[in-house]
Amino acid sequence: MDRLQREKLKWKCRRGLLELDIVLERYLARHPDDHALNPLLDLPDNDLWDIVAGRSENYQPHLKDVVARLRAV
């Protein structure tokens, strides 16, 4: 992943929910080149937070690994 792609990913991680901002900031610190995160970042904040918090399993099966990494943060 080049610098521009990393910056775009970082920008997409800026959210309206503080809790989500904190998790995504920590996630990017550990996985700065994880482009697999992009499909989840297209979700509305509340839907994404429900997934990260473990209250929802409403995501595509191929995102299982990235969701597990997010939940582990």
Mean pLDDT across 59-67: 96
The pLDDT value recorded for residue 5 is 87
Domain boundaries defined on the chain: 3-72
Long-range contacts, 7-16 (Cβ 8 Å, 24+):
9/34, 9/35, 9/37, 9/38, 9/41, 12/38, 12/41, 13/37, 13/41, 15/45, 15/48, 16/45
Dump pLDDT digits (tens) for 10-60: 899 999 899 999 999 999 999 988 989 999 999 999 999 999 999 999 999
The pLDDT value recorded for residue 2 is 85
Fold for the domain defined by 3-72: DNA polymerase; domain 1 (1.10.150)
